[in-house]
Amino acid sequence: MLLSYQIEEILGTKVMQTSSLSGGCIGEVYKVELEDGREVVAKVADGSGATLAVEGYMLRYLREHSQLPVPEVYHSVDTLLLMEYIEGESELDAGAQEHAAELLAALHTVRGQAFGLERDTVIGGVHQPNKQHDQWIPFFREQRLLYAAHEAARVGRLPAAVLARVEKLAGQLERWLLEPEYPSLIHGDMWTTNILATYGQITGFIDPAIYYAHPEIELAFSTLFGTFGQPFFHRYHQLRPIVSGFFEERRDLYNLYPLLVHVRLFGGGYVRTVEQILRKYNT
């Protein structure tokens, strides 16, 4: 429930109008028009496991460490996040996709000292561990693939037999995956509704799940639900050549992570998709 007096106290100006916005895995989302002319987004959650402070941290991290366009954060605690309102829709035409490729290629040049992050984060409201590793493949195996699979099994949405198959595949990742030149900063949740665009230009990225990774996991995620297509990948490849075998072999392996997050949240048909990928790798 949005409490206008809280926003007025925090931002020092009167709330003139509020309207509901779609999106957000945690709580409710509102557009708030203020007397001083500003427009802000307010995310509101109850106190039971809310993690909006983490979202605020991730947005601030991207603003401080990259040129990726993200909203300015005005206030963030677990139950309330106030940030800049950015105009835009999630319809990404060819021009917007090419612009996104340029922005993400630049983001992926931001180097970290290790894979992971200085603190844990969240993806879609689900805990995302970021214990730092010197090598990418062990990080992906332990902090992404196995962690997500065990979490999905813990809540009863991933059958034990499928978990065993994921564990078997996790022990063989070196057969297919590559170590990158360096850890790259990624947005981490390349879902269509997390990208805003207007008139063929990206206006902002929202709802990140940041850490330092192999950029291929970002590229893979962008294909899982049809976020980007040929215009994006053609432009990205011009700027940061994609090593052969990505689409044929590595993409599906990386997409096991977001799929297992969806299994953890929703179960159902996502388990079947996980099984299809496991069959591809003979597990």
Domain 4-84: top CATH class: alpha beta
Is there a shared CATH topology between the 4-84 domain and the 94-280 domain? no
Q: What is the pLDDT of residue 51?
A: 86
| Beta partners for residue 15, in sequence order | 34
Residue ranges covered by each domain of the chain: 4-84, 94-280
- Using DSSP, state whether 246 is helix, strand or coil: helix
- E strand segments, the chain: 15-21, 28-34, 39-44, 73-77, 80-84, 121-123, 126-128, 184-186, 195-198, 201-205, 211-213
Q: What are phi and psi of 217, to 5 degrees?
A: -70, -30
In the chain, % of residues over pLDDT 70: 98
Fold topology of 94-280 = Aminoglycoside 3'-phosphotransferase; Chain: A, domain 2 (3.90.1200)
Q: How far is CA 115 from CA 4, 59, 122, in A?
A: 41, 19, 16
**Region of poorest pLDDT, from 48-57, 76-85, 216-225:** 48-57
Mean pLDDT, rounded, for 209-230: 97
Q: At what angle do helices 160-170 and 269-280 cross, to 10 degrees?
A: 40
Q: List, for residues 80-119, the tens digit of each pLDDT value.
A: 999 999 999 988 999 999 999 999 999 999 999 999 999 9
DSSP label at 146?
A: I
Mean pLDDT over all residues of the chain?
95
pLDDT band at 23 (very low <50, low <70, confident <90, very high): low
Sign of CA dihedral 168, 171, 174, 175: negative
Q: To the nearest whole percent, how much of the chain has pLDDT over 90?
A: 90
